[in-house]
Each structure stands twice: as C-alpha cells, then as structure tokens.
Structure 1
C-alpha cells in the first residue's frame, strides 16, 4: 500500500457549476477505481484552483485475476475425422491458445471445453495517468472551454496535473501541459528564500506568459504537500474553511450584537471561492434602510456575496464579507467593499424613488412580447383575468356539490374582485427601473409599489406571491387570494403553450411547464381546492386554441407522480384511476401510503384482489338488493361491521377531511379483512342457487365499493 496524491491545478473554478457536480466528481472516481480493480478509500478536497484526491492506502498493484473461459460441449469439439470442429477453432481463436492448452470440465452436467489462465495485475504507476485522464474527461460541468492549442476541453484551463505515488512522480501528459510535481501556493503567499523558490517561468504556465505565479515548491510526499499548502495560505479541506467562516461569523455576531441571515447556499459558494477565508464586518449608511430590504439584500448577496445582518429582527446597516486575502490589510479590504456597496445602494435608491413617483404607471405591457403566437403581456393579463372568472366559478361549484357544504370554501364576490384587481397590476413592475436593475425582484417590487398606492393588503400579498413556489421545497402562497391569482397565472401559461404545441418532451422543458403544473397541484391541495384534473383541463376549452385534452390531462396527471416521488407509484395510480378532486386525491394517496407502510401489503392487497376476482367486473352494480335473512353467520358479522363503518363515515362528514381522517377510515375499513376472509373460507359464493349467489355477490360488492372510495387497489403492486 502507498499514499497517493492527485492534484489537478486550474484557473479559478466557477463555484456554482463546481458545487453542482461534486457528488459526480467523487462517484466517477469510485467507478474508475472499481473498473481498474484498485478500490480504496480516499478523501476529496477542492479549492477555487484545485481538485485534490488523497488515498492513504492505495494498492501498488492490481490483484491477479483467474480468467476462465467455457466452450462448446466436448462432443461438438471434433469432426468425425477427429479434426477440430468450427466450435473448437472458434474457442481457440477467442482465447488465443493452441489445442494443447485446452482443458475439459463439467458444466450443467456436460463435458465442455475449458481454459483458464492467471492474468497478472498491472502496477498502479503504469495505469494511474490513464485513470486520471479518464476521470477528468468524465466530468460534466454543463459548459466547458478550450484554451491555447489544447484540443480537449474542461470547465477552466488546467495548468498542471500532479500525481504522486509515495515519493514517485507519475507523468500524466494531457490537456497540452507538461505535468510536474511543483505546487502553487496562495497568490499572496510570501516566499521564504531558505526553503522555497519563486518560479515565474515554469513550463506548466507557458500559455500564460504574463502571469505572476508566486510561491511554488516541488513536493515529494503527501505530507510535504499538506505542509506546504498549510504554510502558504491554503486551507485545503473545504469543511475546515466552512468551520473557520462560521466561527468568525459567530465572533462578529457577538461583538456587534447582530444576527447573520442563515444562507447555506451562499455559505457553500463562499467556501468554494476561497482558499484562506477571513470573515470581516462592514457597514453602510443607515439612510439606505428606507429602500426595500430585498433590494439591499440582493445587492449584497447576488452581486457581492455578502451576508446580510439583522438586529432586533430588523435589517441592520451592516454586512459580512469573506475575504480570500492572505497577509493583507483587512481594514483596506473592508473600506473597499463598503465603497462598492455604497455605489450599488445609491443606484437602487435612485431607481426605487423614481419608480414611486410613477405610481405604477411604468409603461405599456403591450410593449413586452409574451410569446410569438400568444401576444404580449397585456394579452396575457386579459386571458388570466377571464380564466380567473371561470376558475372561481368552478371552485364554487365544486365547494357546493359536497354532501355537507362548507361555507368557508365558497369564494365570495369581494374576494373575486380582489383577485381580478391583483391580476390587473401583477405584471406592472416588469417595466419599472427597479426590476430592470434587479430582475429577480419582480413581484417583490410590485408589492411595494402597490402598498405605496395603499392597495388592499390582499392585493399586495397576491402581487408578491404570484411566482411562488420557486422550487419543490419552496413555500406556497400564504393566502387564498394569492393562491387563486397564482393558479390563474400558471394555468394560462400552461394552456397557452399547449395551444401553441410547445409541449415538454423528454428532458426538455424550456418554459418550466412541469414545475408550474406541479405547483398548481400543490396549491390546490394546500387550499382545499378539490377540482379534478379533468375539470382543470376543461378550463382550457374557452379562450385558447384547441388542442388534444387527453395530452394535457396526461401531462398534469403525470406531475402527481413527481409530487409523490417517494411513494409507491402503483398507490398513486390506484387513486388517480378514480378521478377524485385534486385535494381528495392527494389526501388519499398520503393516507394509503401511510397505511401500507405499516402492514403486510401483500396480504392486504391479496384479500382485495380476491374480492375483485369474485365480482369479475370493473363496473360495480349498485342495484344489488341484500336479503339479510339469507345470510349465514359469517356473512351477518361482515354485514354488521360494514354498517358500523358506514355509520362512522356519516358522523365524520361534518368535520374537515384530510389525510389523517382518511387514514383512520382506511384502518377501520381494513378491519373488515378478517371477517371477509372468514366469508370466503366458510361460504360458497358461486352457488348454483342464483338468488343466493346474487345475494352473496351483492354483499361482497358493497365491501368492494367502500374500498373503491380510496382507489382501485387492484392496481397496487409491491
């Protein structure tokens, strides 16, 4: 066993693409180790300019492998004249051997041709270079580039590949570089003449003749490598950098009595762009706190990678910047960052104050094209408004058709008016200077402008939340008005693009219709909107070019499987086949999944399928008339238990139904399983007496019907 160091030294790697593929980087190296039979544990480290693999115990040689080859039966190996048959010749050619080297062995009871040989494992140093090249070529960062005369591409130019096996340097000629074992320190590291030399003309960097390389040093072991980096401004371990940043942030919080906004993504990005991080405290003029905090935070986070600070739950006029400097005057760095931020906040203040003067009359939405063939944003707002009318009418119809009408689900006329007013101004901020400077704040700025005009708080909230959710784990709209506005906007986008035949295919979804459909479904569930998917599709028949409704139905239904990606798909399918409303479907899927997670699913479904087989039909006849006088004892017990269950449901109808309510029902319903099995064991269902047979089948049908209220469980598979 030996120590192995692999350092790929590059120009600065972009943080976000790097962070995205880190799991792939490590997994691909594991696969290559397996492919070459050199599996061993390793550590992976990254900095802005290097990808590093370190093995503490790396095999010096592949293990020897016994290769075995089986051929045709011995009876087919020779012709009648005892000469080798084609089967024998093929076996010899396949293994590159002579007839004298062939052996015989038994396989599957037959004597067959057999050959085995020991394949000696190669020394690791002979194949490491190829392994590293294969590893680098396997990485996909999304975009890559070529540089100088290099024909290969990578996310950024590679300047050196150092492979050190114990103290032996392994040459790796790739990416048009002359590899060596010289390691580069932090850009600001200071040379120590008695231990180091400053190399500025290293052949590795000939393609960058005007750059100053700084401190470098040849290394001959992993420990030398780690010591050199540690002494020269490189914290190689990304987790150590993370903990250093967090510790310094805690010190700043304590010293200045402030709280840092928790932002894991920003922290990960800063870890990826620093080699020697130092968290520093800076401030900006208090006057800027009068502009929306989102503008300040966006200026700090998106443009400068600063952490926002809070005091007494309010945004504080300060920030934390993480410097990558080494041996630096940090006061100068703080002043420089404060100056940059001040300029950005002055711009934000200017845009915001100018926009307030416009009173949301920023221009004409006719000037912004929504989609070729679908008009402009003004046209889209008109469609959304009409769709909102129809959607609200449908929601009210659905709310009133329940057995017990819940007045809370009825959308009142004043709520409808708030929805329509919200849609009329929701897109106005797209023409504002503020959104022009901060595109990510569309909707957010609109809510501030609406508030300045003293619009109803429901309207301000709806404008703010019109684009939610931003991802699968993002929050949904917080109020019903916002939810309906959100649904109308998303439904119009889906219907419009489907009418233009811009339907997602394969992995391509340039307009994020899958995400919008999933969000539509989740919002319906959140706000108890129990419209069915088919009813949603029917909304597209008014005001849109015609298209195949079944395509839209399948598209939306498929999204439900994505929402419940962690649930057995057959459970989802069994519920969807019943065409319940969206809210009811979601609750029943959750309830069934929870129930089957704690029972023997094979046994439970086996009983249900036995019921279905007895009935031998997909359509249940509700005209069965049950004659209880014909019941045998086990049938009577089953029937009484069924009546008890049905009575319990009647009592529940007066309460809200959710997944927990449905779970309780399912648990009670499956208590019939034991009594049902007793009927099967003791009663002949398909008796020759037609009247008796119909009576018994009718009882089974009643039980079957209750199960169908949750889904067609014949579809459930393990």
Structure 2
C-alpha cells in the first residue's frame, strides 16, 4: 500500500486572533478523527495557521483503505432448508448477496448454525474519501460567529478565498465553502501577493516561508519572542513577555518584525499598571523594564511587514499610543480629584445580583464578616471593616471602567493617595488574591480577612438564591471562590472553622429563598473542592476520601490530615493496616448498635489479644498529645507500629467467640483500634 503527504489549506480574510488556535486545533482534530473513522493509516497530523489561513498536513497517508473481509449472516439453518431444498428465506438472502444458495456458507455460533456469506471488500481510494472528511471537519469548526459574503449563502468566520488540497503532487478534486480545491496558495499580503503553485504537499512550509509567511504557529511565536528579547537587549532593558499577549500577537502577523518605540517620560507619573494595560489592551505592545524593575518609556511592537523605512512604522505606533496614554493620565488625574470614600454612595446604584442587592449591600455584608475574621486571626478589626467599605469603590472610577483588569490595583493607589491606612490600601488589592491556581494569597491580615469575607458572601448568596454551579455553568466563578478560600486558610495557616464562617456570612443576607440547609450545602460543596485542591498538590483520591469521611470543618486541619495520610500511604505498613481497618469496619458494621471501645483486661484470654491491648494502650498515651497539636504525621508514624500486633491478632484470635462477654470484649478491642486511626482519617478507604 502506497502512502504520501496530504495537505489542506483554507485561505480566508484575517481571522480573529483569539480564535485562531482553537480553529486550527479543531481542524486537525476533525481530520484525524475522519481518517481514523475511515480506517485510513497515516503518520503525523500537523496543524498550521496564520491570520489568513488554516492548514493541516498529514504525513504518510495511505492511498486507500485496507481491504477487509465482510461477513453477513442470513436465516438460521433450520429455516433455510425444508426437506433438503432451500426455502424462500435462503434464496432471498442469496440474491441479496449476489450469489447462489450453494455459494453460501454455514456460520457456527453459540446460538446455533446460520447461513452466511463472506466477501472480500476492496478499500476505497483515499482521494475519494478526503473531500467528505475535509468538508465534515470544516463544518465542525468552533466558529465564534459566522458571516456571509457577496451573494453567496456560504457561512464561515471570515470570507474564504482559496482552498488547497494536495495528495502528494496531485490535486484532490473537492469543493468546500463554495471553493474548488487546487494547488494555488498565497503568500504575504504585501511582500508576496502573487499566487504560488505548490508542486507537492511537502513543499508547503518552505514555499510559504519563501513568500514571507511563517505558517507554523510555534515557530512564529518563538521568532517573536527572540526578536522582542533581542530588541530589549539593544535597549539595555528587560522585556516582559506575557504569554497570552504573545499568542495574540502571533495571531495578528504572518511575518513578524519587532520594532522599539517610545513615549513621553511624563506619562511615567501614571501608575505603571495603567500604562501597561493600555499598551497591551489597545496596541498589543510588549513593555520594557529597567535594571531596577521600573517601567521604561519604551515599548516593542511587532509589525506584519519588513519595512524599508522602519522608522516610519515606529513613528506611526508612537503617534497612536500617545493619545491612549494621555487618556490613562486623564483618568488617573480625574479619579484622584475625589476621595475613594466619596464613591461609597455610588455603589448603591451598581447591582451585584438582582436578588442579592447592590455592591453597597455586598460591602456592608462583607464588612461584618471581615471584621469578625480579623478578630479571629489577630488582625485589626477596624482596618478590616474599613477595607471592606472601600473594597469595591474603584469599580466606579474612570480608570477601572476603561480597564476592568485594574480593579483592586487602582483601589490601592487611590486609597494611598487619600491617606488611608497602608494595610487597608494593600487589602483592597489583595481581596482578589488568589486569582488562579498557584497564585499568591493575601499577605496582610486585613487582606486575608477581606478576601475571605468577599468570597464567603458570594458563595452563601448565590447558593442561597438557588444558583448552584452545574457541570458546565458557573457564571459567578463559585468553584474558584471556594478554592480561593481553601488556599487562603491553608497557606495562610488560619485555623478557622468553615461552618462558623459560613453561618455568619449567611446571616448577613436579609432574605434567601433557599436558606434552609444552606450552610451545610455550601460547606459540603467547599470541602468537596479539596479533591481538586489535593490533586494539584499531588494528593491521591483515596487519601482525600479517607479524610473526607471524618467530620472535619477546619480547612487547615483538613489539609494537615491530607498530607499526613498521603505520607502514611507510602509506608510499607499502610496496606496491611488499611486492610485491617477495612476488616474491622466490616465486623463492627454488622453489630447491633454502637460497640464501646472500653476493654476489660480481665477478659483478655489469648496472648495475641493481650499484646494488641497493650500496644493500643501504649500508642494511646503517645498519640493523644500529638492529636491535640494536630501533628498527624507523627501520630500515624507511631500507629504504623501496630501492624505486627494487629496481624497476629487476626491470625490467632477468633473475634466472634462463643462466650458473649469475650466476644463483646474483643469487639471493644477492635473498636478502640479503629478509634485511634479515626482521629486522623478512615484509612480503611485507602483500600479503594
């Protein structure tokens, strides 16, 4: 079976830069899926994309499907013949197969013998199947918004202008999006506008690079990175390369050329975050820092043309960025003319959620919870209350209305300008931490109190109006809020009871339609998030289930147990003790009522049960103070020493003795063993 390279390229008007990666990956996935469904052997499936094209190259694509033997089953043998002659059922089946009855075979199955037919089916040529596969892949692309062009009824993300489909050096006859497939592609819109005839599918990348197009997304991105770093080195500066911005810029150019421009130093009086947001959001510029980490009055832009007069391109970019930065400076100056506290009243006109009131209502509720938390963690209650009152005020400033990503950051700047306490100002920014997995948590006690209060208010409020997140919908980011609370409590080593905090937060809401059982529902939801949190920390699902089985409502305590059980699970003794605890759990579960862990020494008759009782008593004395100090790892290290007496007990002692008193005493011994481990977790679940 022969094989060759297949290439498909769809040429379009400039695609939205944020959609290119998703469209490109989906195109490749759709083709791969179609080839696999058709059982066509192939090598690598490589996706390429620029603003003007989506392409997929498949190496070592077989020229046809494999031949296969097709087996058809007809009527049962008993119904196929009567008195040695074929029945109408047999003759009809033979006709459907295009053969005579005597050419049919007998198929033996576990349900009897049947008439059957086997034939060798020739595989279809790949070039015959490719048009349908490509058309299906294009139809399934996740286009953000379709459009039509000209008089055509065809719809796609952007007008489509050319279609290349080559199998080796042959054009695949096909049609898609109203275009006939050919071998002609196009290079850079300005540097190489003439059509380019591809001789072979393997020539694609080289031909385009010769026409000023880097079709490989990864190569193009790395080219941009290298150029930006090189430009920064010339300026004796450090370039800050935001990966999301890099991806977006890569989606705007086919032939990147990095150039350095500048702006007036007077703009540096504006907070650096404002200038950076303006440069990134509006112009897609990379900013530069000096040796001390301060913003330099320079930027790096990536042009889509290798101009003979780069200074003109730079001047054009400088001309464009100047009014943008002037706007930022104007917003900053205007906002500082009013103290942040004067905007508290304005929050009354901003709805947080229709059923939960305004941002002013939320600030009032959060202030009470933040003050309570501050008191619990040795923070300043007055600072926490003040920070909560001011927390959302920057949302109604001109700067944040223009650049929403600056919320909290501008609050800190404006609060500092107004002479607010430094920790209060810092807390206004810290309320949004952590923003994502691995992000830092608030460092100040006021910031921790505010960040917790804000999230707890959102969680109890949204759950309280019946908008619990579903598998696909979480518009208020409750999962992120819950994991944020866990991270702050654990990484901040705040030993607070989550149930207590939720009860306080829920009580701040005046009316909640689903108030009954609310605290337990939210508590369960949040503790369930420990599974994802533990996964990020490398903790197994069995470990999570073992700890989750205990009534632990302090996240810090929960996390310490997770770490201790995870470490215990790696010990040699863990499997045997987990199995023993599972056995104990099963035995005790079959008993009527609770089994007391109080053991009567006088009823211990066997050496093995006496040895276990002594070992348990010794362990109890050692681990009790460790449990009190939440030193669970140290306690489990000691309990690991019970493996030998526990194994010996089960090997030599009959628990369900005929003497009822002896039996109950042995059950009590097992209950006391179980109780020791349950001080940390239900390690029987490590068996799962």
Q: TM-score, normalised by structure 1?
A: 0.86
- Determine the C-alpha separation between the residues in 1 that align with 2:354 and 2:218: 49
Deviations 1:439-467 (A, max 9, x none): 11111100001111232222112100112
Is the deviation greater in 308-317 or in 614-623?
614-623
Q: 1:557 to 1:102 in 2, by over 3 A?
A: farther
1:469 to 427, 434, 449: 434
- Equivalence for 1:529: 494
Q: 1:496 and 2:461 equivalent?
A: yes
SS at match of 2:529: helix
How many residues get paired?
673
1:63 to 53, 63, 66: 66
- Determine the C-alpha separation between the residues in 1 that align with 2:280 and 2:614: 66
Q: 1:108 to 1:53 in 2, by over 3 A?
A: same
Deviations 1:273-318 (A, max 9, x none): 2211111122222222221111011111122111111112222221
- Determine the C-alpha separation between the residues in 2 that align with 1:504 and 1:476: 24
Cα deviation for residue 59 of structure 1 reads: 1.1
SS at match of 2:48: strand
Q: 1:26 and 2:8 equivalent?
A: no
Cα deviation for residue 562 of structure 1 reads: 3.3
SS at match of 1:274: coil
Matched ranges for 1:356-395 at <5 A: 356-360=336-340, 361-362=342-343, 364-391=346-373
- Determine the C-alpha separation between the residues in 2 that align with 1:481 and 1:346: 34
Give unpaired runs (5+ residues) of structure 2.
Answer: none
Contact 2:387 2:450 in 1 (8 A): yes
1:330 to 303, 307, 310: 310
Contact 1:32 1:131 in 2 (8 A): yes
2:584 to 598, 611, 618: 611
2:105 to 92, 103, 106: 103
SS at match of 2:380: helix
SS at match of 2:302: strand
- Determine the C-alpha separation between the residues in 2 that align with 1:231 and 1:82: 74
2:545 to 556, 573, 590: 573
Give the root-mean-square deviation of aligned CA atoms: 3.0
Q: 1:703 to 1:237 in 2, by over 3 A?
A: same
Cα deviation for residue 85 of structure 1 reads: 8.2
Is the deviation greater in 494-503 or in 90-99?
90-99
SS at match of 1:670: helix
- Equivalence for 2:604: 630
Contact 1:577 1:711 in 2 (8 A): yes
Cα deviation for residue 643 of structure 1 reads: 3.8
1:275 to 254, 258, 264: 254
- Equivalence for 1:207: none
SS at match of 1:159: strand
Contact 1:480 1:527 in 2 (8 A): no
Contact 2:67 2:120 in 1 (8 A): yes
1:682 to 652, 655, 660: 652
Contact 2:212 2:255 in 1 (8 A): yes
SS at match of 1:370: strand
2:413 to 448, 454, 457: 448
SS at match of 2:175: coil
Is the deviation greater in 622-631 or in 475-484?
622-631
Is the deviation greater in 296-305 or in 610-619?
610-619
Q: TM-score, normalised by structure 2?
A: 0.90
Give unpaired runs (5+ residues) of structure 1.
Answer: 191-213, 397-410
Q: 1:420 to 1:94 in 2, by over 3 A?
A: farther
Contact 1:426 1:443 in 2 (8 A): yes
Q: 1:185 to 1:391 in 2, by over 3 A?
A: same
- Determine the C-alpha separation between the residues in 2 that align with 1:428 and 1:347: 20
SS at match of 1:482: helix
Contact 2:603 2:665 in 1 (8 A): no
SS at match of 1:504: coil
Q: 1:302 and 2:281 equivalent?
A: yes
Cα deviation for residue 622 of structure 1 reads: 4.7
Contact 1:620 1:701 in 2 (8 A): no
Is the deviation greater in 16-25 or in 457-466?
16-25
Is the deviation greater in 510-519 or in 297-306?
510-519
- Determine the C-alpha separation between the residues in 2 that align with 1:612 and 1:187: 73
Cα deviation for residue 78 of structure 1 reads: 4.4
Contact 1:150 1:175 in 2 (8 A): no
